[in-house]
């Protein structure tokens, strides 16, 4: 009897973990795409996070590109209302591919909180160098820009 109770409790905790909600990030839009979230309609903007309860309205001639759960990108280009909960199949894929790693990078860059140099100087002032072109007022000492080869200690 205890085994059945433990099995039942394990199922109660495992099912919610498996049926985890998908998150969608608006990557690009064209046209008058709008989002309905909590019965409030607003214009879709790049960087908007959508959950399973959100609805994306795409009029004719418009499209929206979404990133799903940090790893997959897809485009909705047919007019209509798209319930994000119905797009779970678009989120399936490999998490270790090059494109999945790129999508994770884009997701992190678009969703990270905005900071300021005053609060985190190390993150903002850690430039190690830059490319410069056509700047004539920079002088580099030739001793630092020269490689000297010396043949030493040869045997006779």
Q: Over 70: is that where the pLDDT of 102 sits?
A: yes
The pLDDT tens digits of the residues spanning 44-94 come to: 898 888 888 889 999 999 999 998 887 888 889 899 999 988 888 877 777
* Cα distance between residue 72 and residue 18, in whole Å: 18
Highest averaged pLDDT of the listed ranges 9-13, 28-32, 135-139: 28-32
- The residue extents of the domains of the chain are 21-90
Q: Which two tokens stand for residue 152?
A: 């030493």
- What are the φ/ψ torsions at residue 64 (nearest 5 degrees)? -140, 135
State the burial class of residue 104 (Cβ atoms within 10 Å of its Cβ: 0-12, 13-18, 19+): middle
CA distances to 96, 103, 152 from 143, rounded to whole Å, are 46, 45, 21
pLDDT value at position 16?
A: 45
* Cα distance between residue 154 and residue 134, in whole Å: 44
Q: Over 80: is that where the pLDDT of 136 sits?
A: no
């Amino acid at each position: 009897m205890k085994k059945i109770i433990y099995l039942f409790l394990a199922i109660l905790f495992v099912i919610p973990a498996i049926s985890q909600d998908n998150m969608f990030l608006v990557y690009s839009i064209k046209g008058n795409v709008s989002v309905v979230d909590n019965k409030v309609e607003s214009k879709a903007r790049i960087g908007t996070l959508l959950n399973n309860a959100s609805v994306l309205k795409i009029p004719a001639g418009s499209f929206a590109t979404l990133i799903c759960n940090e790893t997959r990108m897809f485009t909705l280009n047919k007019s209509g209302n798209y319930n994000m909960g119905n797009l779970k199949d678009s989120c399936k894929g490999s998490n270790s591919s090059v494109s999945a790693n790129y999508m994770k990078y884009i997701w992190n860059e678009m969703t990270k909180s905005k900071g300021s140099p005053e609060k985190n100087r190390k993150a903002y002032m850690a430039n190690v160098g830059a490319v410069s072109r056509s700047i004539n007022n920079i002088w580099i000492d030739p001793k630092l820009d020269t490689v000297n080869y010396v043949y030493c200690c040869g045997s006779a």
